[in-house]
Amino acid sequence: MGSSTAPAAASANASANTPDLAGAPVSAACGSPPPDNPALAAFVGNLAYLKPEEIDLVLRAYRFSETAHQGQTRLSGEPYITHPLAVAGAMAEWRMDVQTVIAALLHDVMEDTSVSKAEIAGTFGKPVAELVDGLSKLDKIEFQSYQEAQAENFRKMLMAMARDLRVVLVKLADRLHNLQTMSAVRPEKRRRIAHETLEIYAPVANRLGLNKLYRQLQDLSFAHIHPLRSRVLARAVKAARGNRRELLSRILDGIRGKMAEAGIDAQVFGREKSLFSIYRKMSEKRLSFSQVLDIYGFRVVVRDIPTCYLAFGALHSLYKPVPGKFKDYIAIPKGNGYQSLHTTLIGPYGTPVEVQIRTEGMHHVAQEGVASHWLYKDSEESGADLQLKTRKWLQSLLELQHTVGDSSEFLEYVKVDLFPDEVYVFTPKGRIMALPRGSTIVDFAYAVHTDVGHRCVAGRINHDVMPLRTELCNGDQIEIVTAEHAHPNPAWLSYVRTGRARNRIRHFLKTMQNDGSGSLGESMLNQELRALGVAPPEVPALAWEQVLRDSGNKTMKEIFADIGQGRRLAAVVARRLLTGDESPRSVDGTAAPLAPLVIRGTEGMAIQLAPCCQPIPGDPIIGSIRKGQGLLIHTHDCPVIRKSRSNEPQKWIDVEWEAESGKLFNVRIKITAKNMRGVLGRVATGISEAGSNIEHFTMDEKNTGLYTELHFIVQVSDRVHLAQLIRSLRRIPDVVRIGRERE
C-alpha cells in the first residue's frame, strides 16, 4: 500500500496512545477539523450524506488512524495520514456506507502499526475489522518470490472481496492514490507496480464496471511504464484538440440538431479517448498518431430504452453507418453490466465518428459500475442486475478457491476471466451466454454444467457438427453432444480459454490419476508382500497404523497412490509393514522372486505406454516408475531406455500383458513402395481389409525418385494382429519393404 518510514516509532506510539483514544468520548476524540487542514475539511464536507452520529464516528476513526501512523511519512515527505484520507475521500465520493469509509481510513493500521484486528473490532465493530483484515497484506508469511507473494495477496483480496465487495472498492481506490503519488518512488518499483496494475487491478475495475477508475488506472500506469511516450502523446492529443475543434463542433452541432428535429430530449457531449487506449490502438495496428482518426467519440444520453433506438435511427439518417460496426449492448449487456448502443458513422470529410447511446441509469452504471449501487440507489434496474452478475462471478471465485491449491495457478485462472473481450452465444433454448473471446465448444460445455463438460464428445454450431476445439463467434447457437462414458481429455487444456473449464479439467484428471495410481500402487505393494511370503490381508492393523504415522499420510489409499506415482517404493513400504525397517532382505532371509505385474494397457493415466517404442500385447515389456507420473511401459529392446536400465535398475519392474486385453493399440509402421499413382489407396485398402484402423499418415515428400516412404500409425490388438497386417501388405505388388518403426 502506501510507502512509509519510521514504522517502529509509529508502532510504539500507536500502542501507547490507542487505549486512551478508544476509551475517550466521541466528542473529545473528534472535534471539528482544524482550519489549517483543507483536505480534511473537504473530506468532511463530502460526508453530508451520512447521519451526524456517523460523521462523528468517521472523525473518530480519522484521529485513531492519525495517532496510529504518528511519525510515519510517505517517501514524498508528506505525513502518512494523507494517504488513508485520500482513499477514504474516494469512498465518500462514491457515497459508501460509514463502515467502508472507516475501513478506508484504517486500511493500513494493521499492516504498518501494532494495532490488532481485535482492537479495531472493539473500537469500531467487527464488520470494520473484517474489512481492514481483508485489505492487509500477508507480510508475516515468507514467500519464495515476489510473484508468489503477489499471487497470494491477490488471492486473499479476492476471497475477502467475495465475502464483501466493499474490500475491493477500497483496494482499488488505494491503488489509484498510490499511482497518483509515486514520483518519489524509484523508477524500477514504479514500473513494477504499474505493470501489476495493468495486469490485475485495472481488469478487476473493468470487470466490476468501474469504467472511469479503469481508464485512470490505465493512463497512470502507462505514464509510469512509458513516461516519455505518455508525454509526447498527451501533447499530440492537446494539439489535435485545437486543430480539430471546428470539425468536432460541427459534428456535435449536427447530432444535437438531429435529436431536436426528431423530438428527442437528449444530452449530447464529446469525449476524448484515454491516452492508453490511443497508444494501444497505435501499437496493435501499427499506426502513427496522425492515422488514428477516432481519438474523439460522442455520447448521447436519453430518458429511456425505446428512445435509445429512436436516437439510433435518427443518427443513421444524419451520417452513413459503417457496416458491421453496430453493437447492441442493451439487448445483450456485457458481463460487467455495461449497456449502450454503439455505432460508427462516416462524418464530415470522411472522418469516422464513434457514438454511444444510453439512458441516464446506464450512464451511471457505465461510469461507476458496482459503486453506482451506493451512488444512485434510485436508478434503473441495471444496477441491481449488475449486483447479481458480480455476485455470480464472486461465487465462481469461491468455488475455484476450493479446487485450486496453488496461488499462482489461482491467479492464472482469474486473469483469464478478467479480460473484457467477450462473445455472446445462444443455447438451443435461446438463453444468451457470455464467454471470453477465443472460447471453444468445451468452454461452452463447462459453462453450462461441469457434468456436461466432462461428458462432451462433440458440438453442433448452428446445427453443424464441429470439432470440440472450434472457436465460437458472436451469435452462434451451440448444442453439446455428450456420451455417458466420455471423460475429459488432457489435450483440451491446450485450447480451452475459460478459467472454469481449465480448473474442472485439471481437477478431474488429477482425481482420475490418483484413483488409477491407487489401484496400481496397491497391486505393486501386494506383489512385494507375496514375494516376502505374506498374503496382503495378513498384514497387522498395528503395522499399517505405524507406517501411516511415520509417513504423514492419512489413509492407506494415499500410500497406494504415492507408490503408484513413484513417490514411494513398494519394496520399502512392504518391508516396513513386516519388519518395521527398510532393510533390503526378505522376512525369512530368503528372497522370493517377484512375479511380473500384470497390465491390460487400459488402466488410464497411472499406466502409460511409451510413445518412443509403442508396445503392444505380445511384446516383451518392462515398466519404469516415474516420480509423480506413474508407470511408463517400454518394450525390452527400446533404445531410449538402455542407459537408464543399467544406471538405475531400482526404478524398473517386470510387467507382462494380461491374456485378453480387448483393446486396440497404436503402432508405427514404415512402408517403402513404388512411387506410382494409386499406391496409397491400395495400401490403405490393405490395412482396412486386415481389420486395422489408420490413426495417422505422413508421406516423405522430398523423395521424388522410383520409391517413396509411407509412415502410418495403425491400430492393432496385439503382436499377432500386427504380423498378419504386415503379411497382408507384403502381398501388394507395389510394396517393396515394410517394417515396424520406432523413434
Distance (Å, rounded) from C-alpha 641 to C-alpha 631?
Answer: 14
Q: What are phi and psi of 341, to 5 degrees?
A: -95, 130
For the record, the C-alpha cell of 143 comes out as 514467500
Q: What are phi and psi of 322, to 5 degrees?
A: -85, 120
> Can you list the alpha helix ranges (DSSP code H) found in 267-381?
275-285, 305-318, 360-368, 372-375
Orientation angle between helical segments 38-45 and 82-93, nearest 10 degrees: 20
Q: Are 289 and 243 in contact (CB under 8 A)?
A: no
Close Cβ partners of 623 (under 8 Å, ≥ 6 residues apart):
597, 599, 607, 631, 632, 633, 634, 652, 653, 654, 655
Distance (Å, rounded) from C-alpha 296 to C-alpha 273?
Answer: 6
- DSSP per-residue string spanning 138-157: -TTS--SSHHHHHHHHHHHH
Q: Which of 54, 97, 111, 385 is catalytic?
A: 111
**Cα angle 608-609-611, degrees, rounded to a multiple of 5:** 120
Tally helices (H) and strands (E) across the chain.
Answer: 31, 20
Distance (Å, rounded) from C-alpha 477 to C-alpha 197?
Answer: 36
Q: Are 259 and 203 in contact (CB under 8 A)?
A: no
Q: Does the active-site annotation cover 422?
A: no
For the record, the C-alpha cell of 241 comes out as 484538440
The Cβ of residue 372 has, within 10 Å, a number of other Cβ atoms equal to 27
3-state secondary structure of 298: strand
Distance (Å, rounded) from C-alpha 395 to C-alpha 269?
Answer: 38
Q: Does the active-site annotation cover 484?
A: no
Residue 693: strand pairing partners: 715
Q: What are phi and psi of 625, to 5 degrees?
A: -80, 120
Cα distances (angstroms) measured from residue 622 to each of 79, 118, 246, 643? 71, 62, 82, 14
Sequence letter at residue 133: D
Q: Which of 66, 108, 112, 522 is catalytic?
A: 112
Tally the C-alpha atoms within 13 A of residue 225's C-alpha that lie toward its C-beta: 17
Query: Listing from the earlier edge strand, what are the strands of the sheet with 707-716?
Result: 693-699, 707-716, 665-674, 735-740
- DSSP per-residue string spanning 41-85: HHHHHTTTTS-HHHHHHHHHHHHHHHHHTTT-B-TTSSBTTHHHH
Close Cβ partners of 165 (under 8 Å, ≥ 6 residues apart):
208, 370, 390, 394
For the record, the C-alpha cell of 16 comes out as 501507547
Tally the C-alpha atoms within 13 A of residue 50's C-alpha that lie toward its C-beta: 25
Close Cβ partners of 96 (under 8 Å, ≥ 6 residues apart):
166, 169, 371, 374
Cα distances (angstroms) measured from residue 405 to each of 8, 208, 395, 409, 632? 35, 25, 17, 8, 27
For the record, the C-alpha cell of 61 comes out as 476513526
Residue 739: strand pairing partners: 670
Sequence letter at residue 78: E
Distance (Å, rounded) from C-alpha 154 to C-alpha 141?
Answer: 14
3-state secondary structure 640-652: HHHHHHHHCHHHE
> Can you list the alpha helix ranges (DSSP code H) found in 94-197?
98-105, 109-112, 117-124, 126-135, 146-163, 166-180, 187-196
Sequence letter at residue 668: R
Q: Which are the catalytic amino acids?
A: 111-112
